[in-house]
Structure 1
Amino acid sequence: MLLDLALWLATPAPWRHRRLGYVRESVLLSGRAWRCRRAWAPHAARSREAVLRACADLARRREAVVLGSGPLADVPLRELAAAFERVVLVDAVHPLSARLAARRLGNVRLVTADLTGAGDPVGALCGSADLTVSANLLTQLPVVPVDGYEARGLPVPERLGAEIVAAHLAALGRLAGRVCLVTDTEQREEDRAGRVTDRLDLLFGVRLPSAPLSWDWELAPFGETARHRRLVHSVRAYPDWAAAQGGPSLP
């Protein structure tokens, strides 16, 4: 608790983002990422591989934008910085570890932005990008808005989560450059016998096309949230989102 408080105080962020809970979510995510780093390693590696696959055949490499860059565990930052003239990391909060990593590379810039905000922040940030990466961000976008309603004791609008998810996918679809989408889609709770005891649709009913890459992410190993339960997320990756057949649709 004291470490979390220290990180909350030390993490640079606009006051609005602190008030809305983005810094708190970032601190909690960083803490879990550290505790579960061994369990998360295969997921992080496959996410990085998907991003590198997305840019392998790009003829023009002026700018790459990473949406939801976070602590950078799933972002091949050094490789992107070497391949592109400039790299832009976008998130509501940039942890200290990410700031230090970006500082070591001369062509990396940090942009602090609320990607659930009004208008089309994705279009404004990525309109000139040759590569845009949505890095395990999609299912995180509804978290703070939904928590905000619950914290105030207000009913959550029925379609809020689905509308946020669909809006992000639509914004990605309007971009002219290559888009790489990596996202979890479903959470499974499993017991030690391997039985699924609960399921949660992380996309709020929004459907995605079949993906060329998919894997399981052990988000919370046994003992992280419960002694005899673990949480596993299903992940899909689209190195070329525009090439995916079909598209997102609200239920």
Structure 2
Amino acid sequence: MLLDLALWLATPAPWRHRRLGYVRESVLLSARARRCRRVWAPHAAHTRAAVLAACADLPLRREAVVLGSGPLADVPLAELAAAFERVVLVDAVHPLSARLAARRFGHVRLVTADLTGAGDPVGDLCGRADLTVSANLLTQLPVVPVDRHEAAGLPVPERLGAEIVAAHLAALGRLPGRVCLVTDTEQRTEDRAGRVTDRLDLLFGVSLPPAPLSWDWELAPFGEAERHRRLVHSVRAYPDWAAARDGLSLP
């Protein structure tokens, strides 16, 4: 608890992002990542492999942009820095660990941005990128806006989550360069006998096409959220999103 408070105070962020809860969410995510480092390791490795697969055959490697870079546990930063002339890491909050890692490379830049904001921040940030990575970001985008309505005692608009998810996918679809999308899609609650006791659609009804890569991410092992239940997320990865999204219908 004291470490989390210290990180909340020490993490650089615009006051608006602190007030909206982005710093709090970042600190909570970092805390869970520390506690669950071992069980999260396969998920991080799969994500890094998907990103590297996305850039393996790129003819141009001028700029790579990572949306949702966070603490960089699932981002192959060293490999991207070696492969591209410029690397841009984009998130609402850049934890201290990520800032320290980025300082090792003179051509890696941090951009602080609210990707749920008005306009097309994705297009503005990635319009010249040869590779754009949406790294386990898609289902995180609705979290703070939904929490903000609930904290204010306001009803959550019925389509809010779906609209945010669809807007991000649409923005990725307009980019001229290669897009790599990695996202969780569903949360399963399992008991110790392996029975699924609950399911949660993390995409708010938006359907994704079949993915060339998929795996399970044990988000909260037994004892993390509940003693006798664990949370498992289904993850899909698209090293070339444009090749997979034909026929995708967005609300």
Q: Into which bin does the TM-score normalised by the smaller protein fall?
A: over 0.9
AA matched with 1:108: V
Q: 1:85: which partner in 2?
A: 85
For residues 10-41 of structure 1, the C-alpha deviation after alignment (integer angstroms, 9 at most, x for no partner) is 00000000000000000000000110010000
Give distance in 2, aligned partners of 1:201 and 1:176.
Answer: 30
- 1:247, distance to aligned residue in structure 2 (A): 4.5
Query: Does the CA contact (< 8 Å) of 1:63 and 1:128 recur in 2?
Result: yes
Query: Does the CA contact (< 8 Å) of 1:70 and 1:93 recur in 2?
Result: yes
Q: 1:119: which partner in 2?
A: 119
Q: 1:187: which partner in 2?
A: 187
Q: 1:34: which partner in 2?
A: 34
Moved over 6 A (4+): none
Give distance in 2, aligned partners of 1:221 and 1:145.
Answer: 27
Give distance in 1, aligned partners of 2:190 and 2:208.
Answer: 24
For residues 190-244 of structure 1, the C-alpha deviation after alignment (integer angstroms, 9 at most, x for no partner) is 0000000000000000000000000000000000010100000000000000000
SS in 1 for 2:180: strand
Q: 1:214: which partner in 2?
A: 214
AA matched with 1:11: T
Unaligned stretches of 5+ residues in structure 1: none
Give distance in 1, aligned partners of 2:19 and 2:155.
Answer: 20
Give distance in 2, aligned partners of 1:186 and 1:247.
Answer: 21
Give distance in 1, aligned partners of 2:246 and 2:164.
Answer: 19
Give distance in 2, aligned partners of 1:176 and 1:250.
Answer: 19
For residues 93-137 of structure 1, the C-alpha deviation after alignment (integer angstroms, 9 at most, x for no partner) is 000000000001111000000000000000000000000000000
Give distance in 2, aligned partners of 1:17 and 1:244.
Answer: 33
Q: 1:64: which partner in 2?
A: 64
For residues 19-78 of structure 1, the C-alpha deviation after alignment (integer angstroms, 9 at most, x for no partner) is 000000000000001100100000000000000000000010000000000000110000
AA matched with 1:54: A
What TM-score do you get using the length of structure 2 for normalisation? 0.99
Give distance in 2, aligned partners of 1:162 and 1:126.
Answer: 22
Q: 2:165: which partner in 1?
A: 165
Q: 1:155: which partner in 2?
A: 155
For residues 116-162 of structure 1, the C-alpha deviation after alignment (integer angstroms, 9 at most, x for no partner) is 00000000000000000000000000000000000000000000000
Give distance in 1, aligned partners of 2:113 and 2:243.
Answer: 28
Tell whether 2:73 aligns with 1:73: yes
Give distance in 2, aligned partners of 1:68 and 1:18.
Answer: 17
Give distance in 2, aligned partners of 1:46 and 1:3.
Answer: 29
Q: 2:131: which partner in 1?
A: 131
Query: Does the CA contact (< 8 Å) of 1:188 and 1:199 recur in 2?
Result: yes
What TM-score do you get using the length of structure 1 for normalisation? 0.99
Query: Does the CA contact (< 8 Å) of 1:63 and 1:131 recur in 2?
Result: yes
Tell whether 2:227 aligns with 1:236: no
Q: 2:246: which partner in 1?
A: 246
Query: Does the CA contact (< 8 Å) of 1:92 and 1:114 recur in 2?
Result: yes
- 1:187, distance to aligned residue in structure 2 (A): 0.1
Q: 1:204: which partner in 2?
A: 204
Tell whether 2:22 aligns with 1:25: no
SS in 1 for 2:203: coil
Give distance in 1, aligned partners of 2:140 and 2:229.
Answer: 22
Give distance in 2, aligned partners of 1:85 and 1:141.
Answer: 28
- 1:249, distance to aligned residue in structure 2 (A): 2.8
